[in-house]
């Protein structure tokens, strides 16, 4: 198994030079670099070596308790001893209170080193944000310090057997008993629904307090914890998956379980979206991390593997061959372009002066970055040939792990539909207008600006169509392609190295999918 190497310099370049972190009031490059470098060393030395063994061993359900793979408890203990679980938590609650960009860098490195463990640990920042925005002072004081200290890990309990993407079908019921509440129902696909790493688990559960016909307006958000007196939370099974074997995906049963309401009754979906929006950008960076990891494995192999001869008669390596170089360049352009796209979205979120743009960019990043991870892993397998199909080099696991990213936190088709419907109409089209302006802010490359003109015509075509959902995939893919090409052009504009210019030219020369015609 090739050794994992964290792309620290690439990440810092993307955050600062491409996304413009320096414009943020609280950006401290020296501190950010120190934190990111420190975590990278920890990830390379402690977390990454468990990735393959965790995948091979998986999780087990023993007497209603999930047991994590060997070595995971020790790694988690080191993680919390160093304070990493409190990275974004407020200082008054024992955290480091670092910003979203630093957190994004740590999350990307964590994902590339060991996505399964990252999945179990990394819902905590979203849970803390949700508590800070919607929780009472008592709930914040009770839970944020424990989350920051690693005493407690959290989950997000939405999906049910009959309610996947359509949350209006949720049937888990919350019943009031005086000032208290009790939950009864079943949730599925719950990442980290149980584990033996933390002392306790805090479940954020979306449940119905209103009538069924109220749809999403009848949903409220609740806290339920494993150690609470009278808690009746059980794991019915661990799902057997093609990837993420060391991340326990649980089917869970809440049986008249005591719970606390977060925020006001009927506002559960609003509160849950704080968690979900954090998770969607986090998943985008999972795609980036896996795209980069697959490229580094493939490049290291292609630069050493002897195959054929050069024109001068000497032995050639795989990377001497044009088709292999094409695949390596595609991997690399996907990685660096997608990373820049995600960081642009995060900086815009932190600036908070173009919220409609953030809403437009988030689904684009989720779609493009996750598909970049899948494509790069697939290309890596092809570059290594038969060896790529074996487990030895880790690309089979990388592809299997990456494949889920296009499905969870909202299937990519749902995000494409959001771009082409709500995204074009919210605030009178302000999000799409801001995206249009952003492209010109990124680069003055003529190819990109020509593509923007085509995008403008496509936007008008979709807006005037009777059923935009029929055009959603094509329009979202066109938007993703425009954003990515603008990003690759910007990279070459601000850092015209031989590699960056080559990758820009490669990205700009790639044909658009024929389905993107959109009759315009």
Catalytic residue among 97, 409, 416, 441: 409
**The pLDDT of residue 214:** 73
Contact 484, 342 (CB under 8 A): no
**The pLDDT of residue 57:** 97
Residues of the chain above pLDDT 70, percent: 98
- Would you give the end-to-end CA distance of the chain in angstroms? 48
Mean local confidence (pLDDT), 334-346: 98
56-101 pLDDT, tens digit per residue, is 999 999 988 999 999 999 999 999 999 999 999 999 999 999 999 9
Mean local confidence (pLDDT), 373-381: 98
**The pLDDT of residue 279:** 81
Name the β-bridge partners of 200.
152
pLDDT of 8 higher than 90: yes
Mean local confidence (pLDDT), 12-37: 95
Cβ neighbours of 47 (radius 10 Å)? 26
DSSP state of 163: B
Question: Please, what is the angle between helix 446-463 and helix 472-494, to 10°?
Answer: 160
pTM: 0.95
Place 13 in a pLDDT band, splitting at 50, 70 and 90: very high
Please confirm, yes or no, whether 409 is among the known catalytic residues. Answer: yes
Contact 222, 174 (CB under 8 A): yes
Question: Please, what is the angle between helix 322-351 and helix 100-113, to 10°?
Answer: 150
């Amino acid at each position: 198994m090739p050794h994992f190497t964290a792309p620290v310099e690439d990440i810092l370049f993307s955050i600062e030079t491409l996304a413009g972190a320096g414009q943020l009031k609280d950006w401290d490059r020296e501190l950010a670099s120190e934190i990111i470098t420190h975590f990278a060393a920890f990830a390379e030395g402690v977390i990454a070596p468990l990735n393959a063994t965790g995948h091979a061993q998986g999780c087990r359900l023993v007497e209603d308790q999930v047991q994590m793979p060997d070595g995971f408890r020790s790694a988690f203990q080191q993680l919390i001893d160093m304070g990493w679980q409190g990275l974004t938590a407020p200082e008054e609650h024992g955290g480091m209170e670092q910003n979203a960009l630093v957190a994004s860098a740590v999350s990307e490195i964590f994902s590339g080193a060991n996505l399964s463990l990252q999945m179990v640990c990394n819902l905590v920042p979203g849970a803390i944000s949700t508590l800070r925005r919607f929780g009472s002072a008592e709930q914040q004081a009770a839970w944020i310090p424990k989350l920051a200290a690693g005493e407690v890990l959290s989950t997000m309990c939405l999906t049910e057997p009959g309610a996947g993407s359509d949350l209006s079908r949720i049937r888990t019921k919350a019943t009031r008993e005086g000032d208290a509440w009790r939950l009864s129902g079943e949730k599925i696909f719950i990442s980290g629904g149980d584990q033996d790493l933390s002392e306790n688990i805090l479940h954020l559960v979306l449940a119905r307090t209103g009538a069924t016909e109220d749809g999403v307006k009848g949903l409220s958000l609740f806290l339920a914890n494993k150690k609470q007196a009278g808690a009746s939370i059980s794991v019915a099974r661990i799902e057997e998956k093609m990837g993420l074997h060391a991340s326990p995906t649980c089917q869970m049963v809440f049986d008249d379980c005591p719970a606390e309401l977060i925020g006001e009754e009927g506002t559960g979906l609003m509160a849950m979206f704080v968690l979900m929006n954090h998770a969607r950008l986090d998943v985008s960076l999972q795609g980036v991390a896996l795209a980069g990891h697959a490229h580094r494995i493939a490049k290291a192999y292609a630069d050493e593997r002897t195959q054929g001869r050069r024109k001068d008669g000497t032995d050639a390596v795989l990377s001497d061959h044009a088709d292999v170089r094409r695949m390596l360049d595609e991997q690399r352009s996907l990685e660096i372009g997608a990373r820049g796209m995600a960081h642009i979205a995060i900086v815009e979120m932190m600036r908070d002066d173009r919220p409609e743009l953030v809403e437009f960019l988030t689904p684009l990043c989720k779609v493009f970055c996750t598909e970049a991870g899948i494509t790069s892993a697939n290309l890596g397998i092809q570059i290594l040939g038969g060896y790529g199909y074996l487990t030895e080099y880790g690309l089979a696991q990388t592809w299997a792990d990456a494949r889920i990213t296009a499905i969870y936190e909202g299937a990519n088709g749902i995000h494409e539909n959001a771009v082409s419907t709500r995204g074009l109409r919210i605030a009178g089209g302000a999000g799409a207008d801001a995206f249009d302006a952003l492209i010109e802010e990124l680069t003055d490359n003529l190819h990109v600006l020509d593509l923007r003109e085509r995008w403008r015509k496509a936007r008008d075509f979709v807006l005037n169509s009777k059923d935009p959902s029929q055009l959603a995939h094509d329009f979202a893919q066109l938007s993703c392609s425009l954003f990515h090409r603008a990003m690759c052009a910007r990279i070459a504009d601000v850092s015209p190295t031989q590699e960056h210019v080559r990758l820009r030219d490669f990205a700009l020369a790639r044909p658009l999918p024929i389905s993107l015609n959109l009759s315009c």
